[in-house]
Amino acid sequence: AQSVTQLGSHVSVSEGALVLLRCNYSSSVPPYLFWYVQYPNQGLQLLLKYTTGATLVKGINGFEAEFKKSETSFHLTKPSAHMSDAAEYFCAVSANSGNTPLVFGKGTRLSVIA
Amino acid sequence: DAGVIQSPRHEVTEMGQEVTLRCKPISGHNSLFWYRQTMMRGLELLIYFNNNVPIDDSGMPEDRFSAKMPNASFSTLKIQPSEPRDSAVYFCASSSRREAFFGQGTRLTVV
Backbone angles phi, psi at A24, to 5 degrees: -120, 145
Report the pLDDT value the prediction gives residue B62, as an integer from 0 to 100. 86
**What is the structure's pLDDT at B91?**
97
In angstroms, the CA B25 to CA B1 distance is 10
Q: Do A46 and B99 touch (CB under 8 A)?
A: yes
Contact B45 A44 (CB under 8 A): no
User: Can you give the pLDDT at residue B72?
Assistant: 94
List A residues 5-64 in contact with B (Cβ-Cβ < 8 A): 36, 41-46, 49
d(CA A55, CA A9): 25
Tell me whether strands A19-27 and A73-78 are parallel, antiparallel or unpaired. antiparallel
A78-104: average pLDDT: 93
Looking at B1-111, which runs of residues are DSSP E strands?
5-7, 10-13, 19-24, 31-38, 42-50, 53-56, 65-71, 74-79, 88-95, 100-102, 106-110
Residue type, A26: S
Cα torsion B55, B58, B63, B67: sign: negative
Q: Identify all chain A residues contacting B104, using CB atoms and an 8 Å cutoff.
A: 41-43
Residue B73, sorted as left (phi over 0), alpha (psi -120 to 50) or beta, turns out to be alpha
| pLDDT score, position B73 | 95
> Looking at the partner chain, which of A42, A102, A106 has a beta carbon nearest the beta carbon of B100?
A102
CA separation for the pair B104, A40 (Å, rounded): 10
pLDDT band at residue A114 using 50, 70 and 90 as cut-offs = very high
Quick one: average pLDDT of B2-12? 95
Partners of A104 on chain B (C-beta within 8 Å) are: 42-43
B70-107: per-residue pLDDT in tens?
999 999 999 999 999 999 999 999 998 778 999 999 99
Q: Is B52 helix (H, G, I), strand (E, B) or coil?
A: coil
Question: Are B75 and B93 contacting, i.e. CB atoms less than 8 angstroms apart?
Answer: no
The reply to whether residue B4 touches residue A43, judged by beta carbons under 8 angstroms, is yes
User: What confidence tens digit (pLDDT) does each residue in B9-58 have?
Assistant: 999 999 999 999 999 999 999 999 999 999 999 999 999 999 999 999 99
